Homo-oligomer: A and B are copies of this chain.
């Protein structure tokens, strides 16, 4: 690795002269600047990032903790985070908690030693279930900023980026009601998550407000990914008169649609389906699934912006919660 020292020795000047020259300091003669820069270029000098980080107590690196990278929502969020961070001159160190609290703790601990300037994260399922997030407040107490997106916790006072989960499900349910649906079922693979509960509440609330709706809310909760198909099979078996399905997770809407077609339901004439997915699943469905779009790119981008603002502002400002608008996109599985 080429250092300032090397350049200085070759040019018979001091290290500080070289440093200043490379920064176009007024103090250095144009001639010297040229010579220094020429040699630097020739030797492919690159300032050592680690040394600069140490000097500045600032790494320009963000720690990102993702619960499950195989979930398309999070992959897309990571995509957006990396893009915005990169644009703003930050690198990201990625940790995957794989929904485990222990891994989440470990990542926070390992990186809160000067490795990163701050964190962007979404809370692991295990931590949400245990409702134990002291490992995150610990980090905040060390004055390391954290931005939490999507899966948040009220016990943590920090910047957050969420969507209006309640409102999104409420709106989707309202739409099905407006179609005259009489037997609307909600499917959830994320019953344990904060967002899952909120979405479910939105559904229940919309139904309860509908005076001419007589069925009780019917909620199918699915615990493990492996049983999605079975559970949905059963749903149709036990509720043949279902005429509206709202799926509040990434995948079950697609599976429900596929099974419905297999069972010869007319979609959307006799049965409407609304999913909570990104566009990526559309190529796998025909008719095209109507969905609630979460604007995942905005979620990632906003998270980075909040964090960088926090890093740049000297004074302690109050935590901000940014709510990203969702959009109900009616395609071919709704009337």
**Nearest CB in chain B: distance from A104 CB, A:** 12
CA distance A151 to B332 in the complex (A): 37
CB distance A54 to B51 under 8 Å? yes
**Nearest CB in chain B: distance from A58 CB, A:** 10
Q: Mark A264-284, 1 if CB is under 8 A from B, else 0.
A: 000000000000000011011
CB distance A82 to B70 under 8 Å? no
Given A54-B50, A75-B70, A251-B283, A110 contacting B91 (CB threshold 8 A): yes
Pick out which of these stretches binds chain B: A41-49, A168-176, A323-331.
A41-49
Is A57's beta carbon under 8 Å from chain B? yes
CB distance B115 to A50 under 8 Å? yes
CB distance B283 to A57 under 8 Å? no
Q: Which residues of B contact A95 (CB under 8 A)?
A: 82, 86, 91
CB distance B284 to A48 under 8 Å? no
The one of B46, B114, B228, B284 that contacts A49, using a Cβ cutoff of 8 Å: B114
Question: Closest residue of chain B to A229, judged by CB?
Answer: B283
A238-289 interface (Cβ within 8 A of B): 251, 254-255, 258-259, 262, 280-281, 283-286
Given A78-B69, A79-B70, A82-B94, A47 contacting B113 (CB threshold 8 A): yes
Is A6's beta carbon under 8 Å from chain B? no
**Nearest CB in chain B: distance from A54 CB, A:** 5
Q: Which residues of B contact A259 (CB under 8 A)?
A: 286
What are 9 A-B residue pairs whose CB atoms fall within 8 Å in the complex? Answer: A1-B57, A1-B114, A46-B112, A46-B113, A69-B69, A70-B75, A82-B94, A82-B95, A284-B284
